[in-house]
Amino acid sequence: MVLNHQKRTFIPASKQRLANMNYNKRSGFTLLEILVVMVFIGIFATMAIPRLIKQSPDKSWVHVTYEINNLIHFARQESIATQKIYRLAIIKEKETRDILRIEVETESDEPKRPGKRLYTPAYSEYYDPTYKLPNDISVISVFKDKDNILEGQKIRKAYCHIIPQGLVEEVLIHLTRREDDGSKSKISLRMAPFMGVFSRFDGHIKSAGKKQ
């Protein structure tokens, strides 16, 4: 029987170590290359971050409408589940048009005066039923039929009630946003009572009961 022996090439250990060192040098990055990449990342970040801050979604009308509709959705769910009346409270400062907050309130009994209803801020372990509008956005008016219920009030509060059947009181809200160039952007939010959702319209539209 003839056996075929494969010829092996002997490589000295010193040459093997040198080859490994050359491979490691080729597979890595130099300090200069890393610094160049970091400089480019810093330049792009400097250009992009101010634009992202300027275009913050917190002030967009889409985001504001979304947050207010979330409050309504929460209030409807809780009203149906507990069979209590809930309401959306729009609270303004006394002397300015700036909104402090929009919050959900629930009815409760007055211990000292039976039969009298009180409203207290709603509480939830999984959701914060309060929304503070950004500083550049304000609520100008809240209409029920033809009346602006924010006019002539010292405390300046407006309410949108939700009953246990899931119906939401029909209201029309006018909001204004101050832009960076000094101009103003205006929208209207109109409630659909059976759907329990605010629809957004450009500009300040007139209420259904207001004279044209």
Local structure of 200: helix, strand or coil: strand
Q: Which two tokens stand for residue 192?
A: 């659909």
Phi, psi of 116 (to 5 degrees): -90, 135
What pLDDT does 16 receive? 56
Can you give the pLDDT of all 212 residues of the chain as single tens digits? 555 555 555 455 555 555 555 555 555 678 777 888 888 787 777 766 665 555 565 889 999 999 999 999 999 999 999 999 999 999 876 555 555 789 999 988 766 766 677 899 999 888 999 998 888 888 888 999 888 887 766 557 899 999 999 999 999 999 999 988 889 999 999 999 999 999 999 999 988 755 44
Looking at residue 182, its pLDDT comes to: 87
Terminal Cα distance for the chain, rounded:
112
Q: Can you give the pLDDT at residue 176?
A: 93
pLDDT for the residue numbered 212: 42
pLDDT of residue 46: 72
pLDDT score of 122:
93
Tokens standing for 178? 């101050």
pTM over 0.75: no
What is the Cα–Cα distance from 125 to 145, expressed in whole angstroms? 35
Helices (H) and strands (E) in the chain, counts: 3, 10
Enumerate residues 6+ apart whose C-beta is below 8 A from 211.
146
pLDDT value of position 70: 95
Whether the Cβ atoms of residue 101 and residue 158 lie closer than 8 Å to each other: no
What pLDDT does residue 28 have? 62
Q: Which pLDDT score, from 0 to 100, does residue 210 have?
A: 54
H or E element at residue 154: none
Residue the block writes with tokens 């999984």 = 126
Q: Are 89 and 131 in contact (CB under 8 A)?
A: no
